[in-house]
Structure 1
Amino acid sequence: MNVYLPGQSLNLPQGNVRYSAGQGCYELNGKIFASICGKCQIDKDNIVSIVPLGNKVANLQVGSIVTAKVLRIRDNKVEVKIMMVEDAVINYNLQGIIRKQDVRQTNLDILKMEEQFIPGDIIKARFISYGDSQKLYLSVTEDELGVVFAKHTESKQLMIPFSWEEMICVQTGQKEKRKVAKPNISLFSAQMQ
């Protein structure tokens, strides 16, 4: 059974059947679209509904803040698994892409994606548009967005934000480069002196 995103056209069985939009759907130009995230359900009266997954409805829309886990890093993009939309947990496979131009607004020619993210990092990002192949385009250009949780690549210990571009291992004091989500620089600087 497919999981549908808001705005996505529903893939309904073809034939001489006339469907009507129910809860979680809307009809436009003879087609039925999802208005929430969920799975398609058709009742005996051919009313199509989208049933949300989980207890809380993930109201995914352009502009939403998502929490995601970094899966892979390519030359010009990072692939992530979206775990939350705002404060609603996603319990199905929803993936996103952060393109190089959506990491920061300046110095893109010298930006190295592997210095911004590492697989396993937990990030906050903004959903900016629907991509292709069921992947969403995300952005971390705002100060409040970026890596919020990471483990040191060698020690595997927790790291916390140290500056806008570095995180520091709480056990070893070693730093690693990241695109950090708005750290409290004065707090961490005082603790490290």
Structure 2
Amino acid sequence: MPELKICLPGQRLCVKDETHHSGNGTYERQGYIYSNVAGVVDVVQKNNIKVIEVVNPDVQTIVPAHGDIVTAEVTIITQQYVKCLIKCIGNKLLKRHFKGVLRREDIRAAEKDRIEIFKCFRPGDIILARVMPITEAHVYQLSTAENELGVAIAHSEHGHPMVPISWIEMQCTKTYVKEPRKVARIIPEKIHNDIVNRLSEYLC
């Protein structure tokens, strides 16, 4: 058992063998035991077997989990993926930001081989995305394939706010120049206002 005390979801803890078994807060995959939650690693001795568990500390750490809807800021785009910083989980602002990656094939549900990332996102965009199953520690894989997910807030190349005019375009409120985006289908106005209020400090 490695000298590991604090762990995040998806972090590999040790080998699964005859003397090391998976317990609460962990799961097994391909011969290893992984953490399923954020917390402190605890080893429970039962006869000759060590049961590996992860328990929550007294002060709960909020981290993204599989299926969560998160709000993130796009930082880098390439031809194959989008890198971003996760700043909210649901309606909760995070004190610590988490790294997220959105692969090209996870941007839309259809025509995945025809997607051009620069026509979907730009650095600085605020997006809504869903957390996918964790495959790598410390990096969260995201998806915007659902209609309700995608760009929620964006600014034009000149720094002016943009508004959606379709599900694939946004328009600058000052210059009226149109730019392509994968626009989130945010129907209730309250949801959009909540996002704007929560992230206003990042968009000053």
1:130 to partner: Cα distance: 1.2
> 1:101 is matched with which residue?
105
Q: Deviations over 1:105-161 (max 9, x none)?
A: 2222321101110000000000012132521111001110000001001x2000111
Matches within 5 A, 1:26-45: 26=25, 33=35, 35-36=37-38, 40=40
What TM-score, normalized by structure 1, do the two folds share? Answer: 0.70
Alignment-mate amino acid for residue 142 of structure 2? L
Matches within 5 A, 1:48-59: 49-51=55-57, 58=62
State percent identity of aligned pairs: 31
**Would the alpha carbon gap of residues 137 and 2 (structure 1) be closer, same or farther in structure 2, given more than 3 Å must change?**
farther
Q: Deviations over 1:32-74 (max 9, x none)?
A: 84634x6x499xxxx9754487xx8536321110000001011
Query: What are structure 1's unaligned runs of at least 5 residues?
Result: 12-20, 185-193
Alignment match of 1:179 (pick from 167, 182, 187): 182
- Moved runs in structure 1, 4+ residues, more than 3 A? 1-4, 6-11, 25-29, 31-34, 47-53
Contact 2:85 2:100 in 1 (8 A): yes
> 1:121 is matched with which residue?
125
**Would the alpha carbon gap of residues 90 and 183 (structure 1) be closer, same or farther in structure 2, given more than 3 Å must change?**
closer
Between 1:105-114 and 1:95-104, the stretch displaced more is 105-114
Alignment-mate amino acid for residue 168 of structure 1? Q
> 2:11 is matched with which residue?
8
Q: Are 2:77 and 1:78 equivalent residues in the alignment?
A: no
How many residue pairs get matched? 163
**Would the alpha carbon gap of residues 104 and 34 (structure 1) be closer, same or farther in structure 2, given more than 3 Å must change?**
closer
Matches within 5 A, 1:141-156: 141-153=145-157, 155-156=158-159
CA RMSD of aligned residues (A): 3.1
Alignment-mate amino acid for residue 138 of structure 2? Q
The secondary structure found in structure 1 opposite 2:142 is strand
Query: What are structure 2's unaligned runs of at least 5 residues?
Result: 15-22, 43-52, 188-204
**Would the alpha carbon gap of residues 27 and 170 (structure 1) be closer, same or farther in structure 2, given more than 3 Å must change?**
closer
What TM-score, normalized by structure 2, do the two folds share? Answer: 0.67
The secondary structure found in structure 2 opposite 1:114 is helix
Contact 2:10 2:137 in 1 (8 A): no
